[in-house]
Structure 1
Amino acid sequence: MYIFDLTTYKNTLINEAYQTILGYTIDDLDKCDNLLALFHPDEQELITTHLDKMANCKEGELHPLEYRFKHKNGDWVWCYSVDSVLTRHPDGTPSQVLGTFVDVTEKNQLVDKLKESNEYLERFAFVASHDLQEPLRKITAFSDSLSERLTPLIENDEASIFELSRMKLAAQRMGAMIHDLLKLSRITSNSLDKKNISLPRLLEEVCDILELSIADRKADVNWDKSVGDIVGDEGLILQMMQNIISNSLKFCNAETTPCVSIRCKYRAQNVDIIIQDNGIGIQDSEIANVFEPFRRLHVRDEYEGSGIGLAIVTQIVSVHKGTVACDSEVGVGTTITISLPRH
């Protein structure tokens, strides 16, 4: 804790914790000709703006600030402080500020490491996926060439025909996985273009994209009057809804007509988008795994896909600072609830 004089730009009082965190006594600070010089150069403008704000602060206002302050031993300490006016001049202008602060150096170092790690993983995923495409193109080209030349010679060799078809199919699946991994690596909060979105209009667009799948299964995709506007990145929200609805169409018994119902629940700060289907459902023990990339819960021969669809959904929800939950019953269906900030 400290008391800072807005006229002299000096601390007039500090407590023991201040000295413990930053190393200075009140005499040390009093002898300092320019206290502002102890703030990190990168935050000098921030501090000046903050002090100007405090000099015109209204009664009862609290002003938080995060900055680096030079420790007596020369190290930089990250401080998170909250300041308020303690005393005023006769004309009502602030004269002294009461501030409290905590040392957040360790927290900020961890955040920086996490940021570096995430950036590295994003670069790695992009580079790895990009570099894998070239050898895969060669595998695909040579397997196509082999298949074309050998097919007349192996018409009666079922094993050879089967092995060639499996090789081509494996290359196609790997291509789909690389494509999905690239999409996943590109979803970051830095790329968001948030705006108001008409969810009914967006759902119509999703249904147009999935028109063949919907027609093939004679599926019913519907939404009620509760579905209105939401806030988000339109391209990513479209991709999110497309993945969820596509999954609902895919993971449905062949004998059952797929039905996907969508509704919204608007609350003070969030909107819940609830997508309910009548698919095959998910066992309780596997619900937590459905959002993991490349985690398949069913054999590939029964249901196609790379196993990354809901991982993309989770990442899109995450960069929108929302949450996703799944509730399911085997043989009855699955309900996915996406909660996004309203504003």
Structure 2
Amino acid sequence: MTNPINKRMIFALSLLTIAVSAVALISIWQSQQIKKFDAEITRFEENRYLTQQLTMAVLDNETGARGFVITAQKAFLEPMISSERKLDELRILLAKRTLNPELATLINDSLSPLIDLRKEFSWQMAALVNSKKYEEAVKLVLEGRGKYYTDEVRRIANKIDTIRNKMLDLKRLENERFIQNSNAVQIVVLILVLIISAFNFRQLVRIFNKQKETELQLRTSEQLYSALFYKSPIAKWIVDPATSKMLDVNNSFCELFQIKPESVIGKSTADIGLANTPGIREAVQQQLAATGCVRNLEYKTTLQNGDIKWVSMSIDPIKLDGKDCFVGASADITSLKEKEQLIAEMNENLEEKVSEKTAELRKNEKKLQELNDSLERMVEHRTAQLSAANKELEAFSYSVSHDLRAPLRGIIGFANIIQEDYGANMQEEEKRLFGIIQKNTQKMGNLIDDLLDFSRLGRKEISKTTIDTQALVKEVIDEMGKSNARTDAVEWIIGTLPSVNADLSTLRQVWVNLISNALKYSKQVSKPVIKIGSYREDDQLVFFVKDNGVGFDEQYKNKLFQVFQRLHSESEFEGTGIGLALVQKIITRHEGKVWATGEVNKGAEFYFSLPQ
């Protein structure tokens, strides 16, 4: 028969076995949950590091673009291009590693488009520099759009870090609750086992539970500490706010400040001498009082070996063994500050050069203005002289032509009287000679009339009005038909003639002279053809009169529009040699041009242009 005590011990051992198994299962589950939490913390820290690297890459991109704008040296494009590659790699990696939908939306919909805008803006500035549009590039920089993109990237990165911190705090609280609940279950089970087997397992169970709990806490602490602190590539340190003493630092901190851990741990920040910049402690206290943390506080510090470094510092509150502490992260931004200083010096030099060039330009503008004023005075003087000479010439021409008409009228009058009184008694030779006198006298009268017209034109005021050119040309042809029977034998080809703004009487004289010339020089052709038309060229209306008459030699066309210049003898074609000169003078006063082309025995083409 089995001893009741043994039965109780067996029962107690069975219960103990069951309880131990339950504790083991709960412990395994707890360990798995803790490992999962550790992995999440590691991922959060790595993502935070990626975010910080992304922000630094944006700053490198901005620095490289600005450096290239200021110096136009290709060397500045390399950091900009490398930062672009780094930006693409970091944001892809960050997007893959981010599982939270809210953070993923921020990265994909806000952060990533801003990075693309920042890159596009950098290449826009580089393109302006490559096109040597330096002023436009500098103006683009001064507009502040690039800085806005960079600041927005920083803001969104900080927002992402804030959300991650909140999520990490929630995970930490959830993990603490889980540990508390699982420990409570273990304690209840162990208490039950202790009650049942108090007579032989009480002390053993207590020792076992305590050992398990210690091992679990130690393992958890080591994992957290290793993942979050020692293995971080960012310089990190823990300080006791009550004593301002350093509790711990990682290897990155020692590398950054070139110092050994034993010379830091247990000493205050003042003893170490790292934050020796005036006002830095007050700035830290002010931000901690306002927000409870410090973000990207930049300061300059002197290391123990005399080197000077610029550092960007962030501080967050944490609890270690129930004690309030601060964990800090420091980044070396010395190279960035040096580049900013270089850019500032270059900007200052550029402003000085711009001021010098502006002063020189104003001086040159003043000289140019003086030269322009002198030239205008000379032009006004020459114009006055030319105007006076033209007036004198016109007055002289009018006076000569007018004075010649008086004796010419006498000759014509006396010739008519002689012909009436003695014409019947004249011999043939006397009649022939008398006819020559009359003909030459008439020719002289026509020449004087043409000279008077030419002279009057110089004094005639041009009164412009809208003229129906089509109707005017038809009217001129009809009037010529009344006095010249040859017009019926002509094939007239008249195109579309647009209305113009001109002086009616003088423009009518132009058409009369050109059409009468075409009739005169095509009278020897069996089938004369006269073509009249127009076309537009730039801001001018061009009209033309073409015939298939005797034409002219192109080498003498410069004489066509000169007074008394003729390309054909008077025995062939009558005329005074003033008609085309009159045409040129009229069109010139209308701010137009006259020209002609022709070929011997193949006709001539006369053109004139008027402003639209």
Question: Which residue matches 1:162?
Answer: 432
Q: Secondary structure of 1:210's partner?
A: helix
% identical aligned pairs: 28
Mapped contact 1:220–1:260 kept (Cα < 8 A): yes
Q: How far apart are residue 216 of structure 1 and its match?
A: 2.8
Could you say which structure has the higher helix fraction? 2
The offset of 1:200, in angstroms, is 0.3
Name 2:413's counterpart in structure 1: 141
Q: What pairs up with 1:1-343 in 2 under 5 angstroms?
A: 15=363, 101-154=373-426, 157-188=427-458, 191-213=461-483, 215-217=485-487, 218-225=489-496, 227-342=497-612
- Structure 1 19/323 Cα, relative in aligned 2: closer, same or farther at 3 Å? closer
* SS of alignment partner, residue 307 of structure 1: coil
Secondary structure, counterpart of 2:424 in structure 1: helix
- Does the Cα contact within 8 Å between 1:248 and 1:258 map onto a contact in 2? no
Which of the pair has more CA radius of gyration?
A: 2
The Cα shift of 1:19 comes to: 8.6
The verdict on how the C-alpha distance between 1:206 and 1:20 changes in structure 2, with shifts beyond 3 A counting, is closer
Distance across 2 between alignment mates of 1:294 and 1:269: 33
1:119-155: CA deviation from partner (whole Å, max 9, x where unpaired): 111111112111111111001101111222232222x
Post-superposition CA distance 1:255-286 (Å, at most 9, x none) = 42322111111234110002111111011232
Cα RMSD after superposing both structures? 2.4
After superposition, the Cα gap between the structure-2 partners of 1:189 and 1:126, relative to the gap in structure 1 and judged at 3 Å, is closer
Give the direction of change, closer, same or farther, for the CA distance of 1:150–1:297 in structure 2 (3 Å limit): farther
The amino acid of 1:318's aligned partner reads T
Q: Is the 8 A contact 1:214 1:220 kept in 2?
A: no
- Distance of aligned partners of 1:214 and 1:159 in 2 relative to their CA distance in 1, 3 Å threshold: closer
Q: SS of the residue aligned with 2:457?
A: coil
- Counterpart of 1:219, as a letter, is V
CA contact (8 A) 2:524 2:549 kept: no
User: Structure 1 residues 231 and 210 mapped into 2: Cα distance closer, same or farther (>3 Å)?
Assistant: same
Cα deviation 1:46-80 (Å, max 9, x = unaligned): xxxxxxxxxxxxxxxxxxxxxxxxxxxxxxxxx85
Relative contact order higher in (CA < 8 Å, ≥ 6 apart): 1
Conserved 8 A contact 1:189-1:319: no
Work out whether residues 197 and 229 of structure 1, in 8 Å CA contact, stay in contact via their aligned partners in 2. yes
CA contact (8 A) 2:470 2:498 kept: yes
Aligned to 1:50: none
Distance 2:391 2:524 in 1: 43
How far apart are the structure 1 equivalents of 2:606 and 2:375?
A: 41
Q: Secondary structure at the match of 2:567?
A: coil
| Alpha-carbon distance between aligned partners in 2 of 1:184 and 1:221, rounded to the nearest angstrom | 29
Aligned with 1:171: secondary structure? helix
TM-score of the two chains, using structure 2 as the length reference: 0.39
Deviations 1:154-189 (A, max 9, x none): 2xx332111100001111001101111111111137
How far did residue 242 of structure 1 move? 0.6
Deviation, 1:214, is 5.1
| Alignment check: 8 A CA contact 2:563 2:581 kept | yes
Tell me: CA distance 1:326–1:16, structure 2 relative to 1, closer, same or farther (3 Å): closer
CA distance in 1, matches of 2:428, 2:445: 26
Check the 8 A contact 1:21/1:103 in 2, yes or no.
Answer: no
Shift in Å, 1:21: 9.4
The gaps in structure 1 that reach 5 residues or longer are 1-13, 23-78, 81-100
Q: Contact between 1:275 and 1:336, CA under 8 Å: does it hold in 2?
A: yes
- Range moving further from structure 2, 188-197 or 245-254: 188-197
For residue 572 of structure 2, give the secondary structure of its aligned residue in structure 1. Answer: coil
Contact in 2 for aligned 1:125/1:182 (Cα 8 Å):
yes
Measure the CA separation in 2 of the matches of 1:255 and 1:239: 25
Q: Distance in 1 between matches of 2:410 and 2:385?
A: 38
CA positional deviation for 1:289: 1.3
Q: Could you tell me how far 1:208 is from its partner in structure 2?
A: 2.0
Q: Which amino acid aligns with 2:444?
A: M
What TM-score, normalized by structure 1, do the two folds share?
0.68
Is residue 525–residue 549 contact of structure 2 (8 Å, CA) maintained in 1? no
Residue 297 of structure 1 deviates from its aligned partner by: 2.1
Aligned-residue offset at 1:192: 0.4
1:116 CA displacement = 0.3
Q: What is the CA deviation profile of residues 69-113 of structure 1, one whole-angstrom value per residue up to 9, with x for unaligned ones? A: xxxxxxxxxx85xxxxxxxxxxxxxxxxxxxx5542222111100
Return 260-269 or 116-125, whichever deviates more.
260-269
Identify unmatched segments of 5+ residues in structure 2: 1-361
